Amino acid sequence: MKVVFFINVEIIIVKKQILNIMANLKGKNLISITDYTKEEYLQILALASEFEKQPKQPILSDKVVASIFFEPSTRTRLSFESAANMLGARVIGFSNPAATSLQKGESLHDTIQMVSSYSDLIVMRHPRDGAARYASEVASVPVINAGDGANQHPTQCMLDLYSIQKTQGGLDNLHITMVGDLKYGRTVHSLVQAMCNFNATFHFVSPEELKMPSSVKMHIKNMGLEYYQYTKLEDVIPFSDIIYMTRIQRERFSDPLEYERVKDCYILDAATLKGCKPNMKVLHPLPRVNEIATDVDKTPYAYYFQQAQNGVYVRQALMAAILGVK
């Protein structure tokens, strides 16, 4: 009887902790991945797992989600809108700012104020670093950053965490390799910051021009963790648990010649993966250009399409938590 009593007390304590975490998430912006705690990450991932089992739930039928994209997007915009629709929300917004009053000179400040008055939650992508933070300071409803320039992409980071957790059986003590555009790649900036909570060891593969920013590397050092830098992809294959490929982003280069010089610097093909760990997985935020050869798609290591699918469940979890329905 005492054993049962202690177990029941522990269950009650855990449930209270979960309720406290979820209460903290209600109405909370997600602008940078560091806005949320490790415990909040894990609770979102647990909720995403529930939505994966049952994605269609009309729990947001009385909510309006504004999807405003000032920059092109396929997966992020469609997965957010799909997630909202599966939960019964109404979706308003735009994917082409040329068709809005911004073309008439309306400021971002005024646009956000107006969109706030029409919705319960704003999902925003913008080409300028810091635009999402500014929007959150202006808006009267919560804001989710769907990518701001070369700065942050926290919801991509959340779905990356979910994908890593699913494929590796956990998040702790992993060797995370990141390849390609580490200077401008907002997805890798967010993921490094998140994985620092799980005692990761980082391996950065890039040309000199596209190295991971010093601020991100300083964050790793401040957390007491290690990172290593390489120029050859082959050097990291044998010990990587995750290989996170990135596209060299033409749109981030002011000098076309600089882009041409580095655009094909890393191409991962099936032959390159020889000797990798059996459970290693290749991730990519997509779209890919040619940095992952199509012959990788048929290997057991490819996980990038499933990774994109996971975005629906993670974004359902975020919207449900922020709107206080879970």
User: Hey, which residues are catalytic here?
Assistant: 75-76, 104, 125, 153
Question: Within 10 A of 6 (CB to CB), how many other CB atoms are there?
Answer: 10
Q: DSSP states of 32-59 as a string?
A: SGGGS-HHHHHHHHHHHHHHHH-----T
Report the Cα 315 to chain-centroid distance in Å. Answer: 10
Beta bridge partner(s), residue 65: 91, 121
Contact 230, 205 (CB under 8 A): yes
Q: 285-307 burial, b if ≥16 CB within 10 A, otherwise e?
A: bbebeebbeeebeeeebbbbeeb
CA distances from 11 to 17, 83, 321 (A): 10, 31, 21
Q: Where are the beta strands (DSSP E) in 59-142?
A: 64-69, 90-94, 121-126
Residue 167: HSE in the Cβ half-sphere, 13 Å Cα cutoff: 25
Helix or strand or coil: residue 229? strand
CA distances from 317 to 113, 133, 152, 325 (A): 25, 21, 19, 10
